[in-house]
Each structure stands twice: as structure tokens, then as C-alpha cells.
Structure 1
Amino acid sequence: MTVTVYGIPNCDTVKKARAWLDLSGISYTFHDYKKAGADADKLRDWARVAGWEPLLNRAGTTFRKLPESEREGLNETRAITLMAAHPSAIRRPVVEHPGGLLVGFDAAAWGAALR
């Protein structure tokens, strides 16, 4: 099974998710947004699967610190542009796996999807 985890290595949720994968014996590739960035085409693909709103981390510091003009009146196109420019505004982690896409860490959902 090919699993790719997208996130930021120092994010607590990403750390929990990676530890869960390691304990579950699931191998994965890690895509570090800080080093490799976030691809707008990939974000568009994810938005088609999961919707753009679940991908956008409105509760995070990065999003809250953006000027109000960037945060207000978001639609899919503007949100994807924002997330590509500010990868820390993407909910973490995002996992691509053969059966689909997981957004955020939920051990039960991950167990059902990845085992």
C-alpha cells in the first residue's frame, strides 16, 4: 500500500499521526510542506475529493494572523491560492492512500481506511 502523509514535522497532530502509522506497521512517505511546499494542483484534487472547507485550517495561528481581506469571502479558488501560499493553513495531516484521502487525524477512521 502506498501512503503519503502531508504535513509539518513539528505539528503535534502530525507527530501523533506518524506515531500511529509506525505502531500500526504502515509504511509511508512524508511530504514536508516547509521544505517541499504545497502544490495548488494537488490542493485542487483534494478539494474535489474532500471539499476545500475541510482542508482549510481556520483555527490555526497562520490563518488567524492573515489580513482580514484574505480571510473573508473565501471560495474554493481563493482558499486554494491561500493554502498554496501559506501551507501552514492546511489542516494536518492530509493522507493519500489507495482507497482515498484522509484529512486530519482520527485513529478510528484511519484504522478503518488503512488496515
Structure 2
Amino acid sequence: MKSSCTTCRSAKAKLTELGIEVDIRDFFKKPLEATELECLLPADPGPMLGTKSPKYKELGLKDRRLTKAEAIALMVQDNNLLKRPILVHPKGVIIGFDSVAYEKLVS
């Protein structure tokens, strides 16, 4: 989560509404490490890329298919390349704000 991110704040509000308690980690203050990203990223890291990041556009990532290792290396260098928020729940990892997926966690 990034404190200045409106999507993150919306996600937090929805989770609170659903009664899902969360421990929030601002990964701009405490960046995710490569080993953590290795566990979070799917084999195709595309869904985890923050497409609105200036670095995403600068590197021309829209037209590239990154390997998991390449994506991790870039994300460690620049946390803005991570799509946010990232919800890690016993039922799975949800990337980005997805209210329908959040509701499924409590049903």
C-alpha cells in the first residue's frame, strides 16, 4: 500500500466494510524484497505491473513480455512498477483493487 494512493485507500475502506482486518505495509517505506516478490508474483508477472508508473512507460514495458526474474529486478529497483494494492490473504493474493474478489473472501 502507498499512503498517497487513492486506489489503496478505496481498497482499505472496502476491506473494512467487509470486516476483513488487514496489516498494512507501505512498501515505499519498507520495500518488498526480491524473495518476497518471488513468492507473490505469478509465472506471468504482467498483472503485477503498475501500468501508470512513469518508469513503465519510460522502459516501454507495454510492448515487452518480461520474465519473472526481469520483473522482480525492475520492481526491486522501482516500487512504482508494482501494481497496488497487493492483498495477501489465506485464500490467495489479490493484485489491485478488486471489490468482487474481496467479497468472495468473506462468502
Scaled by the length of structure 2, the TM-score of the pair is 0.84
CA contact (8 A) 1:34 1:87 kept: yes
Deviation of 1:93 after TM superposition, in Å, equals: 0.7
Does the residue aligned with 2:74 lie in a helix, a strand or coil? Answer: helix
State the distance in 2 between where 1:18 and 1:47 align. Answer: 21
Runs of at least 5 residues in structure 1 that lack an aligned partner in the other structure: 1-6
Identity in percent:
27
Paired residues, number: 106
Are the aligned partners of 2:2 and 2:26 in contact in 1 as well (CA < 8 Å)? yes
Greater helix proportion: 1
Match of 1:29? 23
- Give the CA RMSD over aligned residues: 2.2
TM-score (norm 1): 0.79
* Residue 79 of structure 1, CA deviation: 0.8
Equivalence map 1:58-69=2 (5 Å) = 58-66=51-59
Look up the SS of the partner of 1:29 in the other structure: coil
- Per residue, is there more strand in 1 or in 2? 1
